[in-house]
Amino acid sequence: MGSLINIGSKCLEVSVTGKGQPVVILPGLSSSMDEWERLTNKLSSYAQVIIFHRSGCGRSELDEEKRNTYATVKDLFSLLNKLEIDRPVIVVGHSYGGFCAQHFALKHPEKVHSVVLVESNSVDFELLNEVIGPQSALWSTMYKAFAKMTEEQIKDQLKPQLSPEIQKYTDEMKERIVKFKINPRMYQSLADELNEMPNCAETIKQYGRLRNIPLIVIGRDPDYSIQLMVHQGMPEQQAKRIEEVWQDLIKAQMKLSPNSKYVLASNSGHGIYVDNPNVIIGEILSLLG
């Protein structure tokens, strides 16, 4: 659990551990910082690790500002100033957090030492919709419905199932993760972020490419992912087509920087930070020099 830090416009729930090179972690759309604890605990032995919940998530306050990648970029900029971090940071973003990481690095390259994108959303995510349909719109509709429910109603709808790896966490941590995921206020924020994604993608594209900033793109194991989709009831050919497009979108992110590389996380699905956190840790350590 993090501490509340006032960044001027609101308070954010932030965890800061370790010393040395600052590493900022931006979790995915509905990912709790508790889900990252195994990774952050190990990494904090080598670096200063900063992870926070976006506005509306966890105990982070939700203000009147429109929720989009620009708002998260603005909040991160303010947070770094509040923490008096004046050296360039390693920005690590997962899924939607990777979307925000791209925006931050492009808008504030002077603040960025390097970037690690972990299964990041692509600025060309609409190509995925051509294969699986308008998923963002469907999720947004569901999230808006959750925003009007009580915590118990959301819990009944979600019936939160923790992954086998998260099942190994302490009971206290598992309770916090479930509590995080049944917060009605969070779902209004997530719905707004999803609705804004097309506009954010266009904004990010307008920045062009990163300067010669080191970029590591970490993607999931395609065979593992296909097997998971089939296990969940999807026809194999459809799963293969979805995975082909996803892999293309992930690898295309290497074009963001002339100084980039791709890393495949074996035996991992979308949640690499849970399935195989050592891959992420190893790549971050390689950037510490």
Q: Report whether pLDDT(281) > 90.
A: yes
Nearest to 175 by CA among 192, 160, 194, 157: 160
* Euclidean distance between CA atoms 30 and 186, whole angstroms: 8
3-state helix, strand, coil in the chain (%, to 5): 55, 15, 30
191 vs 186: CA distance, rounded Å: 9
Residue-wise pLDDT for 149-205, tens only, equals: 999 999 988 876 667 767 778 888 888 999 999 999 999 999 999 999 999 999 999
- In the sheet that holds 89-94, the strands lie side by side as 3-6, 11-17, 48-52, 22-26, 89-94, 112-118, 215-220, 260-265
Residue 211 has a pLDDT of 86
Is residue 1 pLDDT above 90, yes or no? no
Rounded to two decimals, the pTM is 0.95
Per-residue model confidence as pLDDT tens digits over 29-74: 999 999 999 999 999 999 999 999 999 999 999 988 889 999 999 9
Residue 283 is predicted with a pLDDT of: 98
> Using an 8 Å Cβ cutoff, are 47 and 18 in contact?
yes
Average confidence (pLDDT) over 241-251: 96
Q: Which two tokens stand for residue 90?
A: 């390693």
The single-letter code of the amino acid at 123 is V
The pLDDT > 70 percentage for the chain reads 97
221 versus 127: the higher-pLDDT residue is 221
What pLDDT is recorded for position 129? 78
Confidence of residue 262 (pLDDT cuts 50, 70, 90): very high
Q: What is the pLDDT of residue 249?
A: 97
State residue 266's pLDDT score: 97
| pLDDT tens for each residue of 98-151 | 999 999 999 999 999 999 999 999 999 888 877 776 667 788 899 999 999 999
Q: What is the pLDDT of residue 165?
A: 67
Of 122-126, 208-212, 263-267, give the range with the top mean pLDDT. 263-267
